[in-house]
Amino acid sequence: RIVEMAKEMGIEEPRFPKKNENCILCGLCTRVCEERMGVGAISFVNRGSERKVAVPYDKHSPICMACGACTVVCPTDAVDLSDVTLNEPRPIMADYDMGLVPRSSIYIPFAQAIPKVALIDRNTCMHFLKDVCKSCENFCEANAIDFEQEDKIEQINVGAVVLAPGYEQFDPDLKKELGYARYPNVLSSLQFERILSASGPFLGKVLRLSDEKSPGKIAWIQCVGSREVDCNYCSSVCCMYATKEAIISKEHEPDLDCTIFFIDMRAFGKGFDAYYERAKELGVKYIRCRPSSVKEVPETKNLKITYQAADGEIETEEFGMVVLSTGIRPPGEVRELAEKFGIELDRYGFAATLPLAPVETSKPGVYVCGPFASPKDIPETVMEASAGAAKAMALLTEQRGTLITHKEYPPEKDVAGQEPRIGVFICHCGRNIGGIADVPDVVEYAKTLPNVVYAEHNLYTCSTDTQDKIKEMIAEHDLNRVIVASCSPRTHEPLFRNTCREARLNEYLFEMANIRDQCTWVHMHEPEKATRKAKDLVRIAVAKARILEPLVKGTLKVNNKALVSGGGIAGMTAALNLADQGFNVHLVENQEQLGGNLVHIHSLLSGDDPQQKLKSTIEKINAHPNIDVYLKSIVSAVEGSIGNFKSTIQNNGENNGDGKQVSHGVVIVATGAEQYEPTEYLYGKNPRVLTQRTFEQWLSEDKAELKNVKSVVMIQCVGSRDETRPYCSRICCSEAIKNAIVIKNKHPETDVYILYRDIRTYGLLEEHYRTAREKGVRFIRYEEDKKPEVSANNGSFKVSCVDPVLNVPVTINSDLVVLAPAIVPGETLSEVGKLYKLSLNQDKFFLEAHMKLR
């Protein structure tokens, strides 16, 4: 600043006294206002010692646009915009930060944007709005500003299309009663995600917008914009992201009081129930109630929520912050998109698909994946993306490989005989690492290790700009070994190896230390131990890097056949897709017929006929020239590795010696699962205690036993969500509702009761939950520690439970008791896992390489 420079040179007092001590009458503000902005709202007035910058007649200017250009160019901060105009400057709120912080008209969308290039917002740039300014053109030393750029429309010819436009967040401003946009401490869930982020407005600290202090108590309100009359579906993701946000909040600030108000806890995904239980162990409170309003306390900006407690009493509680768990809506442009591609939408605006063809739209060759088809979470979205790509590849088989271009790398640097020169790059990984371990201290420690010539830390080492920085440092410091201490090599090692190769370094001269999974996540509440262990892991990585040698990639011929283990609908679908792409497939099924569990399914909630689908799929399998089917067979032995396996197929019913050995390059395991055999509720002791599968069979056959049935009681979560199997079987609620609707359609006079813990009709299944209630199906919730009791009573049953809403015992006389047993791993699953060296999780199901992404 000029004033500061003057003081440094010994000039304390100006020659002329001025009312505004900071203004130096340089005229930059008047010039930018007139010459750049074309307005001239301010100018010089008076002469001599009275000379100043002012608005004519010292009145607020009616022509000032409140653009703030004068305040930006003033070198002494002398300009106060409130002296110039009554117009309030309107900040441009950053979309990425969900409107929590402002941005400029020229900006990079977010820290990890690809490509990381600045852009000009035409809707706010003064040049595009009023044909003025262009100041940025003068300031940009790289001459990168080009106002003449226009959007380009390109026409490309394709054989298939995959639509993945994502979703929009429900606008919480439509729920005025919940205080959004009226009270500063009422946030949407995505805004709270940005607060939790290390790159967010508070660098990952949980602070309120009103005073930037800890909220102390946070409440989440679920189902905002979901499960309503005009939006009769569940958004599928809200329960778990609220739980995640609560857990992370407590990790950041253990003393936070976190409460989640919910209707049903829909933790239906793999590992979700365990995560839900972990949240409760950490002190997250769950209150089964849907608050109708949020009121602010003006003095403190706290928020009051009135709700009905579990004991039926009405309570009012005060919170420092309220987070609205907003639902998923189809993107606003989908109807235009649907018209362009000629596809049908459902009544909510999601792409219309079939239950047994979830990525196929109404138009052949156009596929869909992700929440554009229906609300879903990340794992399902990734799986559907793979399915959509596979369907497109089958369609484009003849053109496969015709457009491949090979990436060109610069010549590799010869490091033979050189002393190791190691560069160490340590990642904060937001707060995952930097919020626990002392990353700068680890960097200083790394600098002391042998052969380390450079070390630094980065917010996100995997970001594009940091990748460029690594390449620059390799060149600048002549590095011949690189270490990144960050997260898991499973997901990021290929990225860093590629970066080294682009910098002319052999990719195998790279080493990675996992200081997140193996360090800060383990020692989350022990920062000193985490820091010490991070140093140890970095030291180990440096020791290994010192002896790394360049390696040359070899190539092996890949066997282009596949083996699919399991002949259910999943295995058959996979086999057909591979075969349609031109690959030969060995399909192995241990039963005497194809079909798996779908053989027992006779109807779907959508009204589609699964048996017809099964029949047509089996016919396609048997008729396909690229598929060899092995019934009553198992894979008894496996050798080899990716690209070149040899599996021995043994027929169960024949003594054929060593079996048949087949060669293949990949394996798809689709061995399915089995139904838990109940031991409770008189199952196996009374023939009128059935499973849902048997009940569905009775319904499909119109069994005579159903004609005189006046009352049916269905009991959910039999053998699941307990200590033995602490997981949700995912399909039981919708299966019970489906069968309940079927019997009500056939026998409207029959009373149907469903005893449940949480109704988990996620996504579009919610519609059928409403339909069941409209048809008179009665739902009674029970608590885990107060399970229903079933006793035989003169040819019928007496089912007893406690209604937690009314807190009174309920007794139901029933003619049938129908159980929803758990899904359990198949008997052969562990053996298959051993054959192919596949890991199992704690529930004995196969473990993915990455729960969300792979």
Same domain, 79 and 114: no
What does the pLDDT read at residue 542? 97
**Whether pLDDT at 485 is above 80:** yes
Burial of 592 (0-12, 13-18, 19+ CB in 10 A): exposed
Pair (450, 393) in one structural domain: no
Give the DSSP per-residue string, 539-570: HHHHHHHHT---------PPP--EEEE--BHH
User: What's the rounded Cα separation, in Å, for the pair 844 and 278?
Assistant: 19
What distance in Å separates the CA atoms of residue 66 and residue 74, rounded to the nearest whole number? Answer: 15
Total count of domains within the chain: 6
Output the pLDDT for position 360: 95
809 vs 57, residue with greater confidence: 809
Q: What share of the chain is helix, strand, coil (3-state, %, to 5)?
A: 30, 25, 45
Tell me, yes or no, whether 660 and 736 share the same domain. no
Distance in angstroms (rounded) separating the CA atoms of residues 316 and 328? 29
16 has a pLDDT exceeding 60 = no
Are residue 359 and residue 432 in the same domain, yes or no? Answer: no
CATH number at residue 769: 3.50.50.60
Which of 632, 647, 672 is a domain's end point? 672
Cα–Cα distances in Å, from 353 out to 344, 372, 373, 585, 767? 9, 10, 7, 27, 16
Whole-number percent of the chain with pLDDT over 70: 97
In this structure, is residue 714 part of a structural domain?
Answer: yes
Do 219 and 246 touch, CB atoms closer than 8 A? no
Q: Per-residue pLDDT tens for 816-845?
A: 999 999 999 988 888 888 898 888 999 999
Q: Which of 714, 717, 682, 711 is nearest to 696 (CA)?
A: 714
Please state, rounded to an integer, the average pLDDT across all residues of the chain. Answer: 91
pLDDT tens-digit readout, 94-112: 888 999 988 888 998 887 7
Scan for tokens 């009791």, then name that residue.
789
Tokens linked to 304: 């009051």
pLDDT bucket at 660, cuts 50 / 70 / 90: very high
> Is there a domain that residue 161 lies in?
no
pLDDT of residue 17 exceeding 70, the answer is no
DSSP state of 399: G
Of the pLDDT bands very low, low, confident and very high (cuts 50, 70, 90), residue 199 is confident
Q: What is the pLDDT of residue 138?
A: 80
Confidence (pLDDT) at 311 = 80
- Gap between the Cα atoms of 673 and 422, Å rounded: 50
Whether 490 and 849 have beta carbons less than 8 Å apart is answered as yes
| 847 vs 623, more confident | 623
3-state secondary structure of 441: helix
Q: Of 492, 474, 491, 490, whose CA–CA distance to 482 is shortest? A: 474
Does 769 have pLDDT greater than 90? yes
63: closest CA among 36, 90, 33, 91? 33
pLDDT of residue 131: 85
Residue 687: CB atoms within 10 A of its CB come to: 9
Place 564 in a pLDDT band, splitting at 50, 70 and 90: very high
322 inside domain: no
Indicate if the alpha-carbon torsion angle 239, 242, 248, 252 is positive or negative: negative
Residue 269 lies in a domain: no
pLDDT at 689 over 60: yes
Kindly compute the dihedral angle of the four CA atoms of residues 539, 540, 541, 547, in this order, to the nearest 10 degrees: 110
Residue bearing the bigger pLDDT, 209 or 126: 209
Six-digit token pair at 842?
A: 């704690």
Q: Which of 84, 110, 125 is the last residue of a domain?
A: 84
- Across the strands, what pairs with 426? 457, 485
In the predicted structure, residue 538 carries a pLDDT above the cut 60: yes
Instruction: Based on the fold, state whether residues 587 and 615 are members of the same structural domain.
Output: yes
* Domain assignment present for 125: yes
- Residues 762, 650, single domain; the answer is no
Domain final residue, candidates 616, 639, 672: 672
Per-residue pLDDT, 376: 93
Say if residue 71 is in the same domain as residue 30: yes
Instruction: Output the pLDDT for position 193.
Output: 94
Q: What are the pLDDT digits (tens) for 293-343?
A: 999 999 999 999 999 888 888 999 999 999 999 999 999 889 999 999 999
Structure tokens at 661: 């050995």
Its pTM stands at 0.87
Residue type, 38: G
Work out the average pLDDT over 136-165.
90
Q: What is the pLDDT of residue 268?
A: 93
CA gap 370, 388 in Å, rounded: 10
Query: What's the whole-number mean pLDDT along residues 557-580?
Result: 96
Query: Does residue 473 lie in a domain region?
Result: yes
Tokens coding 93: 């709120």
Which tokens sit at 726? 């602490």
In which domain, by residue range, is 587 found?
562-672
Is residue 815 located within the same domain as residue 682? yes
The enclosing H or E element of 445 equals: helix 439-447
In this model, does residue 259 exceed pLDDT 90?
A: yes
Residue type, 68: G
φ, ψ for residue 769, nearest 5 deg: -60, -45
Identify the helix (H) or strand (E) that includes residue 649.
strand 644-651
* Residue-by-residue DSSP string for 450-485: TTEEEEEEES-TTSHHHHHHHHHHHHHTT-SEEEEE
C-alpha to C-alpha distance for 339 and 336, rounded to whole angstroms: 5
Q: How many residues comprise the chain?
A: 854
Domain-embedded: residue 157: no
Q: How confident is the model at residue 116 (pLDDT cuts 50, 70, 90)?
A: confident
Identify the pLDDT of residue 21.
66
Report the sign of the C-alpha dihedral through residues 111, 114, 117, 118, in that order: negative
Does 819 lie in the same domain as 679?
Answer: yes
pLDDT of residue 799: 95
- Residue whose tokens read 């003619």: 815
Are 371 and 501 contained in the same domain?
Answer: no
The pLDDT, as a whole number, for residue 705 is: 86
7 — pLDDT class (breaks 50, 70, 90): confident
Same domain for 518 and 629, yes or no, is no
Same domain, 684 and 604: no
Q: In this model, does residue 851 exceed pLDDT 80?
A: no
Q: What are phi and psi of 752, to 5 degrees?
A: -125, 125
- CATH code of the domain in which 487 resides: 3.40.50
Contact (CB, 8 A) for 232 and 770: yes
Residues 759-767 have a mean pLDDT of 95
Residue 213 in domain:
no
Q: So what's the pLDDT on residue 653? A: 58
For the chain, the maximum distance between any two Cα atoms, rounded to a whole number of angstroms, is 113
**Amino acid in the structure at residue 468:** D
